[in-house]
Structure 1
C-alpha cells in the first residue's frame, strides 16, 4: 500500500471518529450521576431549647436526649443526671493508645456503668479505636466483649475511630479500604455476640469509611454548631455539642439526640 492510500485511510478513520464524537455530544448522553441524598428526617421538626434539641413529626416528639462520658468527666452523680432529663448514655469502655497501641480499660467504666444503671438510665458503650489492622480491630472487639461479660445493653456497642488532636497517631494514615476493613471486622464480631454495632464520627471520619461495605450498621454522627445536621448519609444519633451542661457532671459533656425510628 502506498503513502497516498495510507493517508486516505487515516483521513477516513479520523472523520468517522469525529462524527461519532459529534453524535454523542448532540444526543446529550452523559454518564449516569448518583442521586442526590435525601434525609429520612424532616428538619423542620427540629427544635432547640436551653441548648438541647428535640425532634418531632406530626406534633409528636420522637427523640431522646443523651450524653456520652469517659474517665475525663471524673466522678458523676448519675441520679442528678437522670433528674436533668437525660434519657440515655454511652459510656466509654476502653481505648487503644494512639501512639503505642496498647489497649486500656476506661478507669471509670465500671463506676459509670453501675451508676447509670442504678439511676435507671439505659446505656450503650463505645471503644476508642486506633486499630491499624483488622486483627487489631478484632482484638478490640474481643476486649469489649470480655469486659462486658454477660451484661445486657439497651444501646449499641460503638466503634469510634478518629485522629487524636495534637499528636501523630499510629492510625492517621490508614487507607479508606483498611479503615473499612477494620470497622467491618469489629462490628461483625460484636453482632455475632448478639449486640448491635454502630460506627461514630464526624464528616471527615465517616468519609474514611466505604459505607456501602458497612450496610446495616448504624451511624452516630458528630457535628457541632450546626442548626441542622449536614451529613449526607443516614444516621440515628446526632452528637450536636461537646460543651453541654448536665446536672451531676462537673465538666463539659457531649450532648446527643437519638431519632426514634419506631415513632416515625
Structure 2
C-alpha cells in the first residue's frame, strides 16, 4: 500500500472623479477689486471637498476578509518518540498508541507468533483487490492464513481491500466480495477502503471525479457496516484530496505518509502508516508499519 488554495477577493476603494465648472464672471465692484476673497473661497471649497472624500472613504471602506481558520491537530507531536523504526505517542508520559503491520501475500509466509513477540500489537491483512486494467476481482492468496495466524497470536486484526471501482455498483460488488471472503469472521479493527491511482496510464480508475469516488467509498462502507463491520478510508494527502471528506462522515482515516518527522495531514486521522520499510521478526521482507492512536480507533 502506499498532497487548495483559497482566493481572497480584493476590495479597492472606488475612484471619485470631480469636475469643476468655471465660475461665472461677476459684475460686482467688490469682486473685481478683491481677488483675495475669491482665492480664499476656492481654497475653502477645496478643503471641504477633500474632507468629504476622506469621510466617504472611512464610511465605505470594507472590513478585511476573515482569514481561513488554521487546522489544529488533536495530537501533540512533540510527544512522539522514536526507537529505531518503532514509534510511540506519549502525551504527558502516558502511552496512547500501538504499533502494527499491514500485509499481503507479497510478504510470503509470516510467523505470527514471532511478530507478536517483537512488540507488534495489531495487523491489517489484505483481503483482495480489483485489477486496475481489466477490473477483475481477486482474493489475496494468503488472506485466510494471515488473518487466522494474526488473531491466533493475539493481535487485534483488521483488513483492507484495494479498490479500483469506477462507480457505486462496482463498489458494492467489491463489498460483497469482501463479505464472502470474511465469511462471518469477526474482526477487532475496521475494514479499510483503499482506492489509489496507479502508475499505469491505462489505470481504469485513475481519473474519477470527486463525486463519483466519494459515492463509491460510501457505498462500499455502508454495505459492510450493514453486515456489522466497522470501516475506514485509506490514503495519503493526494488520495484524500480526491474525496469530499465532509461527505465521508465520521469514518476514521488511515493516513499514509512515509519518512516524515511528524505527519503533515491537514485533517484528523486515527492510524498513520509511517514507513514501508519496517523490519519485524517473523516477516522475511520489509513491511509497512503503522501507528494506531488508541483513543481514536
TM normalised by structure 1 equals 0.88
Cα shift readout 1:77-99 (whole Å, capped 9, x = no counterpart): 11110111000000000100000
Cα gap change, 1:129 to 1:28, in 2 (>3 Å): same
Which residue of structure 2 aligns with residue 6 of structure 1? none
Runs of 4+ off more than 6 Å: 21-25
Q: 2:170 aligns with which of 126, 136, 158?
A: 136
Which residue of structure 2 aligns with residue 126 of structure 1? 160
How does 1:1-264 map onto structure 2 within 5 Å? 26-30=61-65, 32-261=66-295
SS at 1:235 equivalent: coil
Aligned CA-pair RMSD:
2.0
Structure (1/2) with the larger strand percentage = 1
SS at 1:228 equivalent: coil
Q: Per-residue deviation at 1:224?
A: 0.4
Q: Per-residue deviation at 1:165?
A: 2.8
Q: What is the alpha-carbon distance in structure 2 between the residues aligned to residue 140 and residue 24 of structure 1? A: 61
For the Cα contact (< 8 Å) 2:126–2:159, is it kept in 1?
Answer: yes
Q: Per-residue deviation at 1:164?
A: 2.2
Q: What is the alpha-carbon distance in structure 1 between the residues aligned to residue 176 and residue 150 of structure 2? A: 23
Q: What is the alpha-carbon distance in structure 2 between the residues aligned to residue 102 and residue 27 of structure 1? A: 58
TM normalised by structure 2 equals 0.79
Q: What is the alpha-carbon distance in structure 2 between the residues aligned to residue 223 and residue 255 of structure 1? A: 11
Cα gap change, 1:201 to 1:25, in 2 (>3 Å): farther
Cα shift readout 1:152-178 (whole Å, capped 9, x = no counterpart): 111000000002234531000100111
SS at 2:234 equivalent: strand
Number of equivalenced pairs: 246
SS at 1:104 equivalent: strand
Task: Return the index of the structure with the highest Cα Rg.
Answer: 2
Q: What is the alpha-carbon distance in structure 2 between the residues aligned to residue 25 and residue 116 of structure 1? A: 68
Cα shift readout 1:54-97 (whole Å, capped 9, x = no counterpart): 00111101100000000111111111101110000000001000
Q: Per-residue deviation at 1:28?
A: 2.2
Q: Which range moves more in the overlay, 115-124 or 244-253?
A: 115-124
SS at 1:261 equivalent: coil
Q: Per-residue deviation at 1:215?
A: 1.3
For the Cα contact (< 8 Å) 2:270–2:296, is it kept in 1?
Answer: no
- Unmatched segments (≥5 aa) in structure 1: 1-13
Cα gap change, 1:219 to 1:262, in 2 (>3 Å): closer
